[in-house]
Amino acid sequence: MSDRRYPETVADGFPVPPTEFTDREDRTVEIRPYEGTEGAYESLVAMYDAFDPADRAQGIPPGGEKRIREWLDAILEDDCYNVIAWCGDEVAGHATLVPDGDAYELAIFVHQEYQRAGIGTHLIRGLLGYGQAEGARKVWLTVERWNRAAVSLYKKIGFETSNAESFELEMGLRLNEEEGEEGEEDAT
Amino acid sequence: MKVLCGIGGSDDSFRALDRTVERAAVANDDLTVAVVDNDDSAVTPAGVMERAREAIDDAGIDADVRRVEGDPGSRLVEIAEREEFEKIVLGGGHTSPMGKITLGPIAEFVLLNAKTSVTLVR
């Protein structure tokens, strides 16, 4: 759909990964863009293979290793932005921006072992910092309206609700100015 | 079984059509295909009706194809009630670039308001 709405103003700057922090369980977590190595890919598969189906959202992550690999192959393409939260060599969480016309669709997953420790906030900020630095302009997402933790996280980040008429809420965020807008200011 | 399949021309609605026709051939369902309004569809209602008739002919079954104008969700529910259909079949939703499944407004309305069983085809 091309009629998605976004906030008028551009969001503040987000931290550009790699970044490192200590989570609320005292674990050292590093946020890094996905490197595309076989090791990183297999660690990601392992995280999703062990992911609690109760935390699925609108059918993703899919169940079963084969479907997980098919899904990952699609969202790890070169035109996507992927960021991983690492705890040692284990994947604690993964966030992704997948192109959709002139915008990107966002999704984020934190493994059950690592939830409620502040990792999601760092991970989504890292993803948005990465996308912002790479020039992505608009980001949208959908979230089940009963998923209050997720909705409040997105609001805190700066997402605004753009469509509340369906089962899922749709939210949008502006990461960078539209092309030309900055240039006009410079010209004066 | 008396089955009402609602389609508007989206990809998932055609998938629902094909599977319902296939199933009707095996189960000897009494099938009606209702072609509803869908502004987002790239296919005209006439094109959707033709597509439905083709599927029915290919399967060698006898089924009614009907153009239903007006609000799709409420019209489907109304027809199902008035004509005592036992089941409504619809497309199972649109898939976002991310792979997330989103139900359209027609499916949402029918799910919440129908008195019959509702099948969403994936």
Distance from CA of B106 to the nearest CA of A (A): 11
Q: CA B110, CA A166: separation in Å to the nearest integer?
A: 13
**A97 belongs to a structural domain:** yes
Q: Would B75 be classed as within a structural domain?
A: yes
Q: 3-state SS of chain B?
A: CEEEEEECCCHHHHHHHHHHHHHHHHHCCEEEEEEECCCCCCCCHHHHHHHHHHHHHHHCCCCEEEEECCCHHHHHHHHHHHCCCCEEEEECCEECCCCCEECCHHHHHHHHHCCCEEEEEC
Report pLDDT digits (tens) over A122-144: 999 999 999 999 999 999 999 98
Q: What is the DSSP string of A55-69?
A: G-BTTBSPSSHHHHH
Contacts of A172 in chain B (CB under 8 A): none
Q: Do B70 and B106 touch, CB atoms closer than 8 A? A: no
| Domain annotation covers residue A13 | no
Higher-scoring residue by pLDDT: A111, A180: A111
Bridge partner list, A163: A170
Does residue B39 sit at the A interface (CB-CB below 8 Å)? no
Whether B118 and B88 have beta carbons less than 8 Å apart is answered as yes
Q: How many domains does chain B have?
A: 1
pLDDT in tens, B38-74: 988 889 999 999 999 999 999 999 999 999 999 999 9
Q: Tell whether A185 is covered by a domain.
A: no
The answer to whether the peptide bond before residue A18 is cis (omega within 30 degrees of 0) is yes
CA distance A90 to B102: 31
From the list A38, A80, A126, A152, the residue with the least C-alpha distance to B99 is A80
Instruction: Name the band, by pLDDT with cuts 50, 70 and 90, for residue A165.
Output: confident
Q: How far is A188 from chain B (nearest CA, A)?
A: 39
What average pLDDT does chain A have? 93
Alpha-carbon dihedral B38, B120, B90, B12, rounded to 10 degrees: 50
Residue A77 lies in a domain: yes
Q: Report the domain count for chain A.
A: 1
* CB neighbours of residue A22 within 10 Å: 11
pLDDT higher than threshold 80 for residue A63? yes
Residue A133 lies in a domain: yes
**A100 close to B (CB below 8 A):** yes
The three-class DSSP label of residue A34 is: coil
pTM assigned to the model: 0.87
- Smallest CA–CA distance from A57 into chain B, residue: B100
Q: Which domain holds residue B114?
A: 14-91+108-121
User: Residue B76 — φ and ψ, nearest 5°?
Assistant: -65, -45
Mean pLDDT of A75-102: 97
Tokens 């072609």 found at: B35
> Has residue B101 been placed in a domain?
no
Please judge whether B99 and A59 are an interchain contact, meaning their C-beta atoms are less than 8 angstroms apart. Answer: yes
Q: Which of residues 56-115 of B touch A (CB under 8 A)?
A: 95-103, 105, 108
Per the domain annotation, does B83 fall within a domain?
A: yes
**Res. A188: pLDDT tops 50:** no
Residues 28-57 of A with CB under 8 A from B: 57
Q: Is residue A112 part of a domain?
A: yes
- Amino acid at residue number A70: E
Which residue, among B51, B21, B102, has the nearest Cα to A58 in the 3D structure? B102
d(CA B114, CA B109): 8
Q: Do the chains contact at B99 and A96, CB–CB below 8 Å?
A: no
CATH at residue A169: 3.40.630.30
Note down the domain range covering A76.
Answer: 19-178
B96, B101, B108, best to mutate vs chain A, most A CBs in 10 Å = B96
- Rounded CA Rg of chain A: 16
Residue A183's pLDDT band (cuts 50, 70, 90): very low
Q: Cβ B100–A98 below 8 Å, yes or no? A: no
pLDDT for A187 = 44
User: Is pLDDT at A185 greater than 50 in this prediction?
Assistant: no
Judge residue A107's burial from the number of C-beta atoms within 10 Å of its C-beta, 0-12 exposed, 13-18 middle, 19 or more buried.
buried
A166 and B100 within 8 Å at the Cβ level: the answer is no
